[in-house]
A and B are shown apart, each in its own frame.
Chain A
């Protein structure tokens, strides 16, 4: 199901938060932090970056509550801010320049995955997803999980619908390769500090 469901935040909480009620701010955070973090993590993978982006998203949401016009759902508005932040990060030169740290981050991911109670099948799939190129991963997640259409994804990336369709097909092709039983991703049996 999509990471962020609508109807989680009552309208009066949003109203109180707009007037600066700190309890309402915290309630919004507590209700939405997990789905927003999940969405960001699936797009950018690196936990430390996802935490930064999560912080940025909530600071922007809570600071700009007066800009929320209640035309769409509040959760949808938060989701669009989270996706924008994540895609901006993926497009940024900062993201590309940090590639040299990838080895450290990947080991951290494996340890984190093993530390949690995750079904082996889920762990394999999550790892296969993480190993996709950033654009393909973003497209497959936005289309297959978040229910965005190819036209919407194309707009987000400033590209054509053919781009979105070909990225999705390529992503599925790579996922199939990575999840093949004989050559597939390792299940959570990796030797690490936390396992």
Chain B
């Protein structure tokens, strides 16, 4: 019986292996070839080229450090505390309203099956109102968050374009409902991402102030 992967990997890495297995591999051409292949693959993985981060990363790190440096921290403590308390209160309020209006997933299943168009439009307006009440996006943003927000906004813009060019009439009602439903879901996702970002930003500021005070 041939050696399995784990046994071959143990042999490759000079880890303890049953003597019978080692004996078999020494005599079996197929197992020896597999062992050589595993060694070659390890060498190839170790030889993969290094990857470079994009230019401008150091600038972003420096700005991040600058924001949390002790000097700037002390300067910001007084002003930021007031803004923070207000911001967190707004976030809590927004979260409550957002939760009350329902998460994205249930909206998809409930609304797709013919919820009146008017309600979807109203929900869309409420969510946009929530979005406007969120604090502005931070000046230093995580690339992944920024990409996710941009992607969601682009998708909403595409939907808006489709809604703008949609002919009126009963025959297009189903399509309009689908588009508005998709818009509501995207707005829910956008609020989730923006909310998480705002909360992280607020927590970061609190932590840096807290460590500065200590």
Interface residues of A (CB under 8 A from B): 1-3, 22, 25-26, 29-30, 33-35, 37-38, 41-42, 46, 48-52, 54-55, 58-59, 62-63, 94, 98, 101, 104, 116, 118, 121-122, 125-126, 129, 140-141, 144-145, 165-166, 168-170, 172-173, 175-176, 179
Closest to A143 in B: B13
Q: Which of B22-30, B49-57, B91-99 contacts its partner?
A: B49-57
Q: How far is the CB of A172 from chain B (nearest CB, A)?
A: 6
Residues A37 and B51 in contact in the complex (CB < 8 Å), given A125-B44, A145-B46, A172-B41: yes
Total contacts A-B at CB 8 Å: 111
- Cross-chain contact A37 with B53 (CB below 8 angstroms): yes
- Cross-chain contact B6 with A98 (CB below 8 angstroms): no
- Cross-chain contact B9 with A172 (CB below 8 angstroms): yes
13 A-B pairs with C-beta separation under 8 A: A3-B50, A34-B51, A46-B144, A104-B151, A116-B49, A118-B49, A121-B44, A125-B41, A125-B45, A126-B48, A129-B45, A144-B41, A169-B6
Is B4 part of the binding interface, using a Cβ–Cβ cutoff of 8 Å? yes
Query: Of the candidates A25, A38, A52, A175, which one forms a contact with B51 in the assembled complex, judged by CB atoms under 8 Å apart?
Result: A38
Query: What 9 pairs between A and B have smallest CB-CB spacing?
Result: A169-B5, A37-B53, A48-B143, A48-B144, A169-B6, A52-B142, A51-B143, A38-B50, A144-B42
- Cross-chain contact B46 with A165 (CB below 8 angstroms): no
Residues of B within 8 A of A30 (CB): 58
- Cross-chain contact B144 with A141 (CB below 8 angstroms): no
Is B122 part of the binding interface, using a Cβ–Cβ cutoff of 8 Å? no
Residues of B within 8 A of A175 (CB): 41
Is B17 part of the binding interface, using a Cβ–Cβ cutoff of 8 Å? no
Query: Of the candidates A33, A104, A121, which one forms a contact with B57 in the assembled complex, judged by CB atoms under 8 Å apart?
Result: A33
- Cross-chain contact B45 with A145 (CB below 8 angstroms): yes
Closest to A20 in B: B69
Q: Which of B59-67, B112-120, B172-180 contacts its partner?
A: B59-67
Is B181 part of the binding interface, using a Cβ–Cβ cutoff of 8 Å? no
Q: How far is the CB of B198 from chain A (nearest CB, A)?
A: 15
Residues of A within 8 A of B42 (CB): 144
Residues of B within 8 A of A49 (CB): 143-144
Question: Complex formed: what's the CA distance from A169 to B196 in Å?
Answer: 38
Residues of B within 8 A of A116 (CB): 49
Question: Complex formed: what's the CA distance from A27 to B51 in Å?
Answer: 18
Interface residues of B (CB under 8 A from A): 4-6, 9, 37-38, 41-42, 44-54, 57-58, 60-62, 64-65, 68, 142-148, 151, 196
Question: Complex formed: what's the CA distance from A35 to B48 in Å?
Answer: 12
Q: How far is the CB of A24 from chain B (nearest CB, A)?
A: 13
Residues of A within 8 A of B60 (CB): 55
| 18 other A-B residue contacts (CB within 8 Å) besides A52-B144, A121-B44, A172-B41 | A29-B58, A33-B58, A34-B50, A34-B51, A37-B52, A51-B144, A52-B143, A55-B60, A59-B64, A63-B65, A94-B196, A98-B148, A122-B48, A125-B48, A144-B42, A168-B6, A169-B4, A179-B41
Residues A29 and B49 in contact in the complex (CB < 8 Å), given A48-B144, A169-B5: no
Residues of B within 8 A of A46 (CB): 144
- Cross-chain contact B65 with A62 (CB below 8 angstroms): yes
- Cross-chain contact B5 with A122 (CB below 8 angstroms): no
